[in-house]
């Protein structure tokens, strides 16, 4: 894995952490909703792990956040079709 790749995962983790903080969601709550372990969520947040496509889709659905925002290609947090505004 290149250094740039690690930074991408860390950016994902930072964005996930920010959304979770804003929504007052813990690692345990998100893990339970996704049927994964809290350490999996912790790994995503710290950049030690990257989510599968299925896990990314679950995070998007559960947190009602744009996948583009989470992966760093947009600054708009709301999912398309959502009434939420840019944060």
Closest CA to 43 of 56, 27, 59: 27
Cα angle 53-29-20, degrees, rounded to a multiple of 5: 70
Closest CA to 60 of 82, 42, 43, 39: 82
Q: Is 17 exposed, middle or buried (0-12, 13-18, 19+ CB in 10 A)?
A: middle
pLDDT tens-digit readout, 38-72: 999 999 999 999 999 999 999 999 999 999 999 99
With a CB cutoff of 8 Å and minimum separation 6, the contacts of 48 are 9, 42
- For 82, phi then psi, to 5°, come to -85, 155
Provide the whole-model pTM. Answer: 0.81
pLDDT tens-digit readout, 8-22: 556 999 999 999 999
The pLDDT-based confidence of 3 (bands split at 50, 70, 90) is very low
Domains of the chain in start order, with CATH, are 3-70 (1.10.260.40)
């Amino acid at each position: 894995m290149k250094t740039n790749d690690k930074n991408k995962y860390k950016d994902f983790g930072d964005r996930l952490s920010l959304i979770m903080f804003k929504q007052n969601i813990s690692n345990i709550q998100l893990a339970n909703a996704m049927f994964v372990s809290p350490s999996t969520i912790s790994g995503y947040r710290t950049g030690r792990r990257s989510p599968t496509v299925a896990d990314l889709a679950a995070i998007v659905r559960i947190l009602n956040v744009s996948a583009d925002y989470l992966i760093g290609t947009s600054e708009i947090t709301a999912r398309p079709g959502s009434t939420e505004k840019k944060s």
